[in-house]
Amino acid sequence: MIIDIVTVVPGLLEGPFSHSILQRAQTKGIVEIRVHNLREYGNGKHKNVDDYQYGGGSGMVMMIEPFVNCLEHLQKDTNYDEVIFLTPDGETLKQSMANELSLKGNLLMLCGHYKGIDQRIREHFVTKEISIGDYVLSGGELAAAVLVDSIVRLIPGVLSDETSALSDSFQDGLLSPPVYTRPADFRGLKVPEILIGGNTPEVEKWRFEQAIARTKERRPDLL
Ligand code: 6GU
């Protein structure tokens, strides 16, 4: 899978992809994540990528031409299954959406900045608009990093224990049960006895009950 990300602030995306699981996924050749600076496709001497909005009002709007120049350049070598625009008024990211996107070939993600992007980009070039939640970020970059992580960890071969993505919270519609590690007793704070006995069916039953109880208490909307 190739994931191309188009942004005016590439520096915001330098960290998230060069560590841990996302780094390993790239080293293994399972995914290629490429960050593109929209400014390289900007207009004129100053490589402008934004302009005042028609009709007046404060805030700059990202122009259509630099984006289309960038898209057409990238499309010479890469076909995209989805062109995603990260925006707070998009469809809210859910595990089911990450699951679906992890099965795709190549993805292009466009990060908005300033007041927004020219509506014609959204109507004619974007195929999917995604938000990561009901709050406002300064731009789409951190949302793109969240989206990429949620997708890439689901691709077979990325996680070493392939079953572990399946036991994540939300994957079965339930929150995860509590987990413990050594010591069994830390200053009187004890690990539940049932986990120590080695009775696997009993442990599984306990975990399921805990997952139900936790979901009921914290996210009854999921049940
Ligand atoms: Cl995708 N972008 C911005 N700017 N803010 C957000 C968001 C995206 N998702 C939630 N808030």
pLDDT reading at 163 higher than 70: no
- Is pLDDT at 162 greater than 60 in this prediction? no
Q: Where are the domains of the chain?
A: 2-152, 169-222
Question: Using a 6 Å cutoff on CB, does residue 7 contact ligand 1?
Answer: no
At the top level of CATH, the class of 2-152 is alpha beta
pLDDT by residue (tens digit) across 89-105? 999 999 999 999 999 99
Shortest-distance atom of ligand 1 to CA 143: 1
Does the predicted model carry a pTM greater than 0.85?
yes
The 3-class secondary structure across the chain, one letter per residue, is CEEEEEECCHHHHCCCCCCHHHHHHHHCCCCEEEEEEHHHHCECCCCECEEECCCCCCCEEECHHHHHHHHHHHHCCCCCCEEEEEEEEEEECCHHHHHHHHCCCCEEEEECCCCEECHHHHHHCCCEEEECCCCCCCCCHHHHHHHHHHHHCCCCCCCCCCCCCCCCCCCCCCCCCCCCCCCCEECCEECCHHHHCCCHHHHHHHHHHHHHHHHHHHCHHHC
* Cβ(134) – ligand 1 distance below 6 Å: no
Which CATH number is associated with domain 169-222?
Answer: 1.10.1270.20
Pocket test for ligand 1, best of 87, 97, 111, 146 (most atoms within 8 A of CB): 87
Atom number of ligand 1 nearest to Cα 138:
4
Atom of ligand 1 nearest to the CA of 144: 1
Which pLDDT tens digit goes with each residue over 119-160?
999 999 999 999 999 999 999 999 999 999 999 999 999 998
